A and B are shown apart, each in its own frame.
Chain A
Amino acid sequence: MTERRSVAIHVPVLARVEGEGALDLRIEQGDIAELRLRIFEPPRFFEKFLEGRHYTEIPDMVARICGICPVAYQVTAAQALEDLFGVELDPWARVMRRVFYCGEWIQSHSLHIHLLAAPDFFGCGNAIELARIAPDEVRRGLRIQGLGNELMDLFGARSVHPVGVRIGGFHGAPSLARILDMRDKLRAALPEAEALIRWAAAIPVPQDDQVFVSVATRHPADYAIERGDIGASDGLRIGAEAFDAHFIERHEPYSTALFSTYHQQPYLVGPLARLNLNHEYLPGAIRALLADIGLVLPSRNLFHSLLARAVEIWLALYEALRLLDGYRVPDSPWVPATPRAGVAIGCTEAPRGLLWHRYEMDDAGCVINARIVPPTSQNQGRIEEDLRLSLLNFGLDHPDDALRLHCEKVIRNYDPCISCATHFLRLNVARA
Chain B
Amino acid sequence: MSKVRILGIGSPSGDDQAGWLTVDALAAYGVQGEHELAIDKLDRPGARLIGLLEHADWVILVDAMQSGDRPGRIKRFGQDAWPGYTHGLSSHGLGVLDALSLARAFGILPPRLDLYGIEISLACPGDEAGDDIQAAARHLARHIAADLAAASR
On A, residues with C-beta under 8 Å from B are 15-16, 18, 67-68, 108, 111-112, 115-116, 126-129, 131-132, 135, 138-139, 142, 145-146, 149, 160, 415, 417, 419
Q: Is chain B's interface secondary structure helix, strand, loop, or mixed overall?
A: loop
Q: Which of B47, B50, B89, B93 has the most CB of A within 10 A?
A: B47
State how many angstroms separate the Cβ of A416 from the closest Cβ of chain B: 10
| B-chain residues with CB within 8 Å of residue A111 when the two chains form the complex | 91
Which one of A68, A126, A415 lies within 8 Å of B85 (CB-CB)?
A126
State how many angstroms separate the Cβ of B145 from the closest Cβ of chain A: 31
State how many angstroms separate the Cβ of B105 from the closest Cβ of chain A: 4
For the complex, what is the distance from the CA of A142 to the CA of B106, rounded to whole Å? 12
For the complex, what is the distance from the CA of A165 to the CA of B98, rounded to whole Å? 31
Within 8 A of A (CB), among B23-73: 44, 47-48, 50-51
Given the interface pairs A115-B94, A131-B105, the reply to whether A16 lies near B51 with Cβ below 8 Å is no
| A-chain residues with CB within 8 Å of residue B101 when the two chains form the complex | 128
Cβ contact within 8 Å between B88 and A18: no
Cβ contact within 8 Å between B44 and A160: yes
Cβ contact within 8 Å between A67 and B105: no
| B-chain residues with CB within 8 Å of residue A112 when the two chains form the complex | 91
For the complex, what is the distance from the CA of A415 to the CA of B50, rounded to whole Å? 24
On B, residues with C-beta under 8 Å from A are 44, 47-48, 50-51, 85, 87-94, 98, 101-102, 105-107
| A-chain residues with CB within 8 Å of residue B48 when the two chains form the complex | 146, 149
Cβ contact within 8 Å between A127 and B47: no
For the complex, what is the distance from the CA of A16 to the CA of B93, rounded to whole Å? 11
Cβ contact within 8 Å between A128 and B51: no
Q: Rank and list the top 3 A-B pairs by shortest CB-CB distance, nearest first.
A: A15-B88, A131-B105, A67-B92
Cβ contact within 8 Å between A115 and B91: yes
For the complex, what is the distance from the CA of A135 to the CA of B98, rounded to whole Å? 15
Which one of B92, B94, B105, B107 lies within 8 Å of A18 (CB-CB)?
B92
Cβ contact within 8 Å between A135 and B91: no
Q: For residue A160, which residue of chain B has the nearest CB?
A: B44
For the complex, what is the distance from the CA of A283 to the CA of B98, rounded to whole Å? 37
For the complex, what is the distance from the CA of A160 to the CA of B102, rounded to whole Å? 21
Which one of A68, A138, A139 lies within 8 Å of B91 (CB-CB)?
A68
Given the interface pairs A128-B101, A419-B92, the reply to whether A145 lies near B107 with Cβ below 8 Å is no
Given the interface pairs A131-B106, A135-B107, the reply to whether A15 lies near B87 with Cβ below 8 Å is yes
State how many angstroms separate the Cβ of A183 from the closest Cβ of chain B: 21
For the complex, what is the distance from the CA of A129 to the CA of B84, rounded to whole Å? 13
20 A-B pairs within 8 Å (CB atoms) are namely: A16-B88, A18-B91, A18-B92, A67-B92, A68-B91, A68-B92, A111-B91, A112-B91, A115-B91, A115-B94, A116-B91, A127-B102, A128-B89, A131-B105, A131-B106, A135-B107, A138-B105, A142-B47, A145-B47, A146-B51
| B-chain residues with CB within 8 Å of residue A68 when the two chains form the complex | 91-92
| A-chain residues with CB within 8 Å of residue B88 when the two chains form the complex | 15-16, 126
Q: For residue A415, which residue of chain B has the nearest CB?
A: B91
State how many angstroms separate the Cβ of B54 from the closest Cβ of chain A: 10
Cβ contact within 8 Å between B105 and A135: yes
